[in-house]
Structure 1
Amino acid sequence: MRIGFDAKRAFFNNTGLGNYSRNTIRQLTICFPENEYLLYVPKKKIRVEFDYGVARTIFPESFTGKCFPSYWRSFLINSQLYSDNPHIYHGLSNELPFGIDKMNCKKIVTIHDLIFIRYPELYKPIDRKMYLKKFSNAARVADIVIAVSQQTKRDLVEFLKVPEDKIRVVYQGCNPVFYQECPSEILEKARTEYDLPKEFILYVGTIEERKNLLLAIKALNEGHVKVPLVAIGRKTDYFQQIEAYLSGCSAEFKRQIIFIDNLPNEMLRAFYKLAKVFVYPSVFEGFGIPILEALASGTPVITSKGSCFSEAGGPGSLYVDPKNPVEMADALKAVLGSEDQRKTMICEGLKYASDFTDEKVAVNMMTVYQEVTGIKNNVSFD
């Protein structure tokens, strides 16, 4: 089978859609190396290196394509697809080229979420308009729309009127490094290099309004939880709200909140392993990969009620109202105050995370490819 991917995010985004794209490509090339994988990349000067195995990269060749990479990705790529003749073209990040409906290949798009429709106030009007045009086009011309959660599937049906029988839910996995034991020297390096406290609560994610980190900070302060919070992620304008809140707190409490920029996965897994509990108070997500990373690392999770969070967190996580700092504080006290509860949550989390391994995710994706093309691969793993 010859499978083409929109690989822009794989080579240009460090987190989020980039992780999804890299993991999908890596999982498939490892588990099904007999296929031919074509990675369509709009620019040669890439930002993110990763091992894409047996796949090969394809860049714009025309003068126009080289000068206008976004235009190539959305329009000019069709002539390249006509030449390469893949059985499938898979848009990994919510988009398909305009005009691809005239191509003979099967079209698949992964749509991660419709947050720009659910929470329009978080986006600029021009961005909402652009997203709606791109998402709607992709959902319309695709033979199959892959949703990363049942929540996203429901939103696709409700907001974009995508027929249910056109949607397949394929959960994403996380980088296998989080399933592996972390060498003691890396744990020690993380603790000393970042001067980590002996015990701490961990948050991982962009520090933005939707992800609601301020709730966790309020829970610690107002609930008198004395364990420090380490927040890893890129800051946005929302950070000003956090600074404003902290300005009214005691100097002692301010020292309890530690902010760190994004880390490579090798170091990030050490933070998960060292943390006593992971908090993810987001209001809404397409799936919530950091939750799965924490579970796979053997870290108990406290996250939000509703949205897709129970799909990512499973039965062993605790769920709180993302608008209620008292609930968050009570959940933190319950986990931090009972080693037996922590151990139970860790065991249940590891068991749940085992359903999201590379092999299982790759098999689920390949099953969709088989369905849409009629071409069979061996999809059995021990």
Structure 2
Amino acid sequence: MKVGIITDSISEHISGVGRYSKNILKSFASSEHEIVSIDWRNKEDLLKILEADFSNNVVVANVFPFFKNLLWHFFLLLKLKRSYRVFDVILDCSQFLHIFGKPYRPYIYVVHDLSFFKFPECHRRGKYLLFRFFFKKTIDKADHIVCVSNYTRNTLLHYFPNYIEKTSVIYEAAEDRFKPIYNTKKLNNIADKYNLEDKFFLFVGTIEPRKNLENVFRAYHKFKNEISFPLYIVGKIGWRTDNLLKLHKELNLDGKIRMLGYIPDADLPALYNLATAFVYISIDEGFGLPLLEAMQCGTPSIVSNAGSLPEIAGDAALIVDPNSVDHIGKALQRLSVDKQLKDTLIKKGLLRSSNFRWQKTVSELSMLFFELTQKYR
């Protein structure tokens, strides 16, 4: 079966949707399907940022002089229908907006999160308005909608109940390289590279309002005498971060909380392994891949009771109210001193994370491809 996968979200400084798309492409590369990337870049450019080969790619030229990414997506399905009639099925991992046209073959749209509906204040106004006006028009075109968690599917059906018959949940996964590391030299090299203390808390993700770092900062300030480890923030600066950076300065957290910025993808597994605990107290997540990466590395985690995080964590993380500075602070303090709790969460996290594997994702998507192509015959 020839499967077209929209891959333009894959980039060198990868996160979120781009990481999902990259792992989908890599995981399908060894399947029985012929995988064709759909992108404005050629195959050679894509191979520079991938660790796996794929069958071929279709280059849909981006000829727009402005708003290039936006307009390319707006017209993509129309171009595919007119000029690229080579696929048995099209998988769209980008969660972007496609206004014009509809593919002549089964079209599957992956929904990663819907926070622009639930928490519009957490997004740039332009993106919020675009999705408010054009998201339904886009998913109307889909023959099937894959949601990455039950929470995301339930949220989708809350806003669009008529889609119940064409939605399903297929979980994503963490890469196999996220695992316990016993090579002391490798760990020490990463610790030296980033000048890390022996014990620390870790956050990984794009720095933006949904991640609720302001309340984490307030908890660190309020419980500064009880929390003995620093917090390292790993991730690129996103949007609407002025208040967060101002709060960091006002609370004088330089010695307690350190921004490491974006770090190379290859260093992340060791960083998780070195961390005393992972902190991910978002107000909303569609899946929460960093949590799964942390658990798979054997890192105890503190997560919020919001979004998909309780669904992914199960009983394998310490779960707190993201709106309560006291809850967050007490959880940080507890994991600073309670070795028995840490050991329990490590074991439970490793067991829980074993339920999520890319091979399973590929298998479930393959079954969906078959079902949809049968309907088109």
TM-score (norm 1): 0.88
- Which shows bigger deviation, 291-300 or 212-221? 212-221
- Which shows bigger deviation, 183-192 or 285-294? 183-192
Q: Tell me the residue number matched to 1:138.
A: 138
For 1:162-311, what aligned pairs fall within 5 Å after superposition? 162-179=162-179, 181=181, 183-223=183-223, 224=225, 225-236=227-238, 238-249=240-251, 253-311=253-311
Structure-1 separation of matches of 2:54 and 2:205:
31
For 1:13-52, what aligned pairs fall within 5 Å after superposition? 14-30=14-30, 32=31, 34-44=32-42, 46=45, 49-52=49-52
Q: Tell me the residue number matched to 1:120.
A: 120
Distance apart, 1:336 and its partner CA = 2.2
In the alignment, structure 1 residue 156 sits paired with structure 2 residue 156: yes
Distance apart, 1:263 and its partner CA = 1.5
Q: 1:85 to 1:237 in 2, by over 3 A?
A: closer
Structure-2 separation of matches of 1:193 and 1:13:
19
Distance apart, 1:183 and its partner CA = 3.4
Q: 1:182 to 1:364 in 2, by over 3 A?
A: farther
Distance apart, 1:212 and its partner CA = 0.9
In the alignment, structure 1 residue 355 sits paired with structure 2 residue 355: yes
Deviation per CA, 1:200-220, whole angstroms, max 9, x where unpaired?
Answer: 011111221110112222222
Distance apart, 1:129 and its partner CA = 2.6
Distance apart, 1:308 and its partner CA = 0.8
Conserved 8 A contact 1:179-1:297: yes
- Which shows bigger deviation, 217-226 or 141-150? 217-226
Structure-2 separation of matches of 1:321 and 1:267:
30
Structure-2 separation of matches of 1:24 and 1:287:
15
SS of the residue 1:255 aligns to? coil
**Corresponding letter in the other structure for 1:299:** T
Distance apart, 1:306 and its partner CA = 2.5
Deviation per CA, 1:63-94, whole angstroms, max 9, x where unpaired?
Answer: 95799675444325544455443111111122
Deviation per CA, 1:311-339, whole angstroms, max 9, x where unpaired?
Answer: 22221111111111111121122222121
Q: 1:239 to 1:73 in 2, by over 3 A?
A: closer
Q: State the aligned residue count.
A: 369
SS of the residue 2:298 aligns to? coil
Structure-2 separation of matches of 1:238 and 1:121:
9
Structure-2 separation of matches of 1:265 and 1:182:
19
Q: 1:244 to 1:10 in 2, by over 3 A?
A: closer
Q: Which runs of 5+ in 1 are unaligned?
A: 376-382
Q: 1:315 to 1:130 in 2, by over 3 A?
A: same
Distance apart, 1:371 and its partner CA = 2.3
In the alignment, structure 1 residue 365 sits paired with structure 2 residue 326: no
Structure-1 separation of matches of 2:205 and 2:360:
25
TM-score (norm 2): 0.90
Structure-2 separation of matches of 1:165 and 1:41:
30
Structure-2 separation of matches of 1:73 and 1:208:
24
Structure-1 separation of matches of 2:123 and 2:216:
24
**Corresponding letter in the other structure for 1:86:** F
**Corresponding letter in the other structure for 1:88:** V
SS of the residue 1:152 aligns to? helix
- Which shows bigger deviation, 135-144 or 191-200? 135-144
In the alignment, structure 1 residue 106 sits paired with structure 2 residue 89: no
Q: Tell me the residue number matched to 1:92.
A: 93
Structure-1 separation of matches of 2:63 and 2:346:
53
Deviation per CA, 1:87-116, whole angstroms, max 9, x where unpaired?
Answer: 111111224644443x43101000111111
Distance apart, 1:191 and its partner CA = 0.8
SS of the residue 2:355 aligns to? helix
Deviation per CA, 1:238-285, whole angstroms, max 9, x where unpaired?
Answer: 4432343333445xx521211101112221111100001101111111
Q: 1:182 to 1:58 in 2, by over 3 A?
A: farther
Distance apart, 1:36 and its partner CA = 1.0
**Corresponding letter in the other structure for 1:94:** Q
For 1:337-356, what aligned pairs fall within 5 Å after superposition? 337-356=337-356
Conserved 8 A contact 1:298-1:347: yes
**Corresponding letter in the other structure for 1:171:** Y
Structure-1 separation of matches of 2:11 and 2:188:
31
Q: 1:222 to 1:28 in 2, by over 3 A?
A: same
**Corresponding letter in the other structure for 1:197:** E
Conserved 8 A contact 1:12-1:46: no
Q: Tell me the residue number matched to 1:378.
A: none
**Corresponding letter in the other structure for 1:183:** N
